[in-house]
Structure 1
């Protein structure tokens, strides 16, 4: 088990380093951070000004300083004069301490403060979606296995395939129109004025995200349960007079959950990706919506921080899933 933990930890660190470096490089190579901060002023050739080839004028942003002084101060503040690799190392060191810099678009606002305000809504949405998914998938998977190859099982198969085929954005728009705008059963936007209001306002977006997950989990669990119920130990349990309910929940369900647990970590990526769209549809002030806005506004520090948080959440959840799988499977514990 110790070897598994050390191996997964090293992989976690390497993945995070790769993701953050590639993201940092893309932000700095594909765009001009200086232009995104001070606009056309970034195109001023201050070297030519220093040589006297171009006259120096007072800045339109600050009459007490020249344009080149503004450019120099911004470059120094954001370390834009440093080589790319050095800037990345400095940024990484600050990020480990929770300092992601300041937003380009919201002048002077720390990115960590923006994330602090946006993270709670996203975390609640994803937990809510997983709760809905597992609450639907486990009983329906058990029922589908119990009624395998009968009419009820075939109906569940059709419904689950349909849920898997419907895109999140399409389902979200339909649910928003029918249950919020048309009937008013649920609010059309995020409301955290009370616990009940928040739970109610998050139900539609959580169901939008959780329905596809539930369909995938249900299919996996049903298939594994059908296989497990054919094992010799199940036939032995029936020969001893145990009821089907006792066999299903005490002997067959636990080993059949392994594949669901494994996929749980992988599906986290789909959940995070889906939340980017769902938060936009239901006006949820979460990290996903903020990240989309930051991309549109070329707000590099917020984009980098958002990507880092999402990547960290993904690898940490998969790390936890690997440990849980190792704890549940005696063969992995023995190794």
Structure 2
């Protein structure tokens, strides 16, 4: 997939009217006006009479979105890729007091726990249109799933509602992985869960953060058997293996895996993380490998250090 246009050198002066933009891009006015209404992209200025005027930057964006949709990419995914790579929200979209991040989380929890997929999809699209990509993952989607889990533990929702919410988010994260995995790729990293570990949303978050920065991620998902992991390492020859555990039982499984990887592949580096290590940091001393951090942002920093140092030993870092 082509990268988003380099926008820094393009003029933002409002010069082109709607007809000129349609002629330059081949995109019907109704289409890019719909993108503007829903996603805040493009961002025309207005004449005193209320007519839209577009810049060279706007035209470049419209052309790039046109090409992505022609390739079969969903427009919302193309917008996500554009805004995440530029790492800024659409210029004229400001978070409304009634649609703060906290309110988005509350509304998304309600939508997911009442099986309202259409409203949940709308809320997620709105979040990506307003806020930077990684902020949406860490401050909207992740807290939403924590709250859904808490409501299930308190008996406020049943397991069907919890499964519905989890599968909705899993599908969303998988679709985002599909968007980003076509970018230019660096070294290979294998990402998955420890044997018998079922909670894979955390490693999907981690995979997204890594893929977005250009690493080639081989995502293995939940409960990866040791024998299958070792066979995968033989085939894809990664520089780093990252596994997750959320319970004491699966952390013990992770210990066995870490020892096997180090014995079979001494030049492959092993990293780990997950909720159990966040709440019981003393467990890190037992695992031969590098603790990758308490969240996806810390993971990216740690992985970058490992790769930059060719995998030299990096001590666990905690705030």
Identify whether the pair has TM-score above 0.5, normalized to the shorter chain. no
Q: Shorter-chain TM-score category?
A: under 0.3
Q: What's the TM-score once normalised by structure 2's chain length?
A: 0.25
Q: What's the TM-score once normalised by structure 1's chain length?
A: 0.24
Q: Which has the higher contact order (CA 8 A, sep 6+)?
A: 1
Structure holding more helix per residue:
1
Structure holding more strand per residue:
2
